[in-house]
Amino acid sequence: MKTDNPDWALWARHPRVPPSRGSNPHAIRLFISFVVLLLCVGGQAQEVPLIGAKVPEDVLGASSGIPQCETGTSQHDPCATVNILGHRVTIAWDQQTKAVTYLFTDDPRLIGDSELSVGGSCRIAGDSGRGDSRLIKYRQWLVTEDWRENFSKWPGKATWYAALDLDSAIPGRATIVGFVQSRYLKLR
């Protein structure tokens, strides 16, 4: 069978695939991919906001039902978890002022400038350089100025503090469970 219609030519070679009549299967797949992409981008923030800055509109739009996150001792703020440059970040803000109060990531794919990452272990006692720490209890974690990190892949020069969980198997060591910034975190 000789025809100028590529769909009929495909059908002639593969009889189980019926020829389309006026629809282009590639266009349909492309349209569906576009719709899925638009739905996925809904929770994508473009950059990490700074503590005290106004919460970005795309973050406000990503918060469904305005959940409350614990952001300090007896402190709960509205929050949303979004993807920023491919990494999961929880952002909380003051309900009245809409100022960012808290940032947290536990994304294990994020590696800091000094190569700290979630799941890593650090010394919290007996090391005069990093350790023998002035540990502060913040939420369910321990935080210290000694274990802080910057992420140059994210714009801005914000300092993130390692959220530590004591490693009961190895005394004097802790596991990094995430990185946090908060206006309620007082290290000094």
Q: Where are the domains of the chain?
A: 6-41, 44-182
Helices and strands, number each (H, E), in the chain: 3, 11
Residues contacting 126, CB < 8 A, separation 6+: 132, 172
Distance CA 66, CA 91 (A): 12
116: how many CB neighbours lie within 10 A of its CB?
19
Residue among 167, 121, 169 at smallest CA distance from 147: 121
Q: pLDDT tens digits, the chain, 188 residues: what are they?
A: 555 666 555 545 555 555 555 556 655 554 454 433 333 444 455 788 999 999 998 888 776 667 889 988 888 999 999 998 899 999 999 999 999 999 999 999 999 999 999 999 888 875 445 545 678 888 889 898 888 999 988 877 789 999 999 877 788 889 999 999 999 888 76
- Predicted TM-score (pTM) of the model is 0.71
Contact between 11 and 19 (Cβ < 8 Å): yes
101 residue type, one letter: T
